[in-house]
Amino acid sequence: MHVLDIGTGSGLLSMMAARAGAGRVTSLEMVPALAAAARHIVGVNGYAENINILTVRSDELDEQALGGKADLLVCEIVDDQLLGEGVLSTVADARRRLLKPGATILPRGATVYALAVELRVPSRAGLSLDDMNLFWTDQALCPRASTGTKLQQHPPGSYKVLAAPLALFEFDWATSAVNSLCDARSRRLDLVITKSGVLNAFLIYFRLHLDEDPANTFSSGPDNLDLTAWDQNTRLCPPQQLGWHE
C-alpha cells in the first residue's frame, strides 16, 4: 500500500503507517525546518527506507512527483475550530489528483460543536471577583473576542454548562462530492437552555470520525479527559441573564 501523509510535522503518522505495514509512505511537509526534523526522526526510528519526505505543499505536487497515486491518505491538518488549516480544500484537491478512486482517508470527516457555558471569573490574589461575571465579555477582560481553553482542566465551580452540545456542521470529506466540499452553507439552530446562569461564552470544538465505525472518534471537547493537543475555542459574548423553570 502507498500511503500519502499531508502535513507530516514530526513524521509520527507516517511512521505509524510504516509500522502497520505500508510498503511505501510519501510524506509532505511544506516547512523546511520541520521537514528536516522529520527526516532525522524517521531515520532514528529506522524507517528511512520506507518513508520519503518531500518539502512541498500538496497542491503543488503532481502525480509523477508523487510516484503514482496513493491508496490511503492520512492527515492531521485541523486547528481548534477544525477548518483553519484548510483540510476541506486540501483533501478535495488530493482526491482529484493524488489518490486512487475510493482511496481510504483518515480521518474521514468531523463534526463541529458549540457548547453554551457560564465561565466564572477566577479569584485574584485570594479575592473573589464573582460580580465581574456579568461583565466577562471580549471588551472587558479579554483583548480578543475569542481565546483557547480546556474546560476539563478548570477547577469545579469555575464554570457551568448551560445546555447540551449543539452540532453546528458535519463534514464527510472522504466520500462527499469533491466539488461540494468547500461550499459555503448556513443553518439556523435552536439552543435549548437547561440550567439557569449567565451565558457569556460558547466553546467550539470538534469530533473527528476516523472510519466508518461510529465508535472510532476523537473529541477535542471537554468530554475528552486525556486531551493534550487542541484547545476548545472560546467565543466570548455579551452575557444574557438566563432563567430556567421546570
Give percent of the chain with pLDDT exceeding 90.
70
Predicted pLDDT of residue 246: 39
Q: State the catalytic residues.
A: 76, 85
Strands (E), the chain: 2-6, 24-28, 51-54, 70-75, 99-106, 109-119, 146-149, 159-161, 166-171, 197-209, 217-219, 232-242
Answer yes or no: is 86 within a domain.
no
Residue 67 and residue 157 in one domain: no
In a domain, 88, yes or no: no
Residue range 116-138: mean pLDDT, rounded: 65
Same domain, yes or no, for 68 and 122?
Answer: no
Q: Which residues does 177 contact at the CB level (< 8 Å), separation at least 6?
A: none
**What pLDDT, in 10s, does the model give residues 71-98?**
999 999 999 999 999 999 999 999 999 9
Query: Which of 207, 237, 202 lies closest to 221, judged by CA?
Result: 207
Three-point CA angle 20, 221, 119, nearest 5°: 160
Confidence of residue 245 (pLDDT cuts 50, 70, 90): very low
CA–CA distance, 227 with 214 (Å, rounded to integer): 19
Are 173 and 64 in a shared domain? no
Range of the domain at 146: 110-242
- Say if CB 20 and CB 47 are below 8 A apart: no
Q: pLDDT category, 39, cuts 50, 70, 90?
A: very high
pLDDT recorded at residue 185: 74
Whether residue 37 is found in the same domain as residue 115:
no
> 139-185: per-residue pLDDT in tens?
455 556 668 899 999 888 888 999 999 999 999 999 888 877 777 67
Task: Note the pLDDT of residue 180.
Answer: 75
Residue with cell 510519501: 26
**Side chain identity at 216, as an amino acid letter?**
N
Task: Say which CATH number the domain at 27 has.
Answer: 3.40.50.150
Using the structure block, give the residue that is written with the C-alpha cell 457569556: 200
pLDDT of residue 131: 60
Distance in angstroms (rounded) separating the CA atoms of residues 184 and 168: 13
- What CATH number is attached to the domain comprising 119? 2.70.160.11
**Domain shared by 222 and 141, yes or no:** yes
Q: What average pLDDT does the segment 9-29 reach?
A: 97
Same domain for 61 and 120: no
- Residue of 122 and 209 predicted with greater confidence: 209
- Asked if the structure places residue 177 within a domain, the reply is yes
Would you say residue 147 lies in a domain? yes
Is 95 within a domain?
no
Which amino acid, one-letter code, is at 233?
Answer: N
Total number of domains in the chain: 2
Last residue of a domain, one of 53, 76, 99: 76
- Residue 116: inside a domain: yes
List the end-to-end C-alpha distance of the chain, in Å, as a whole number.
Answer: 58
Q: Which has the closest alpha carbon to 107: 16, 210, 206? A: 210
Do both 115 and 71 map to the same domain?
Answer: no
Which positions ≥6 away from 63 have C-beta within 8 Å? 69, 97, 98
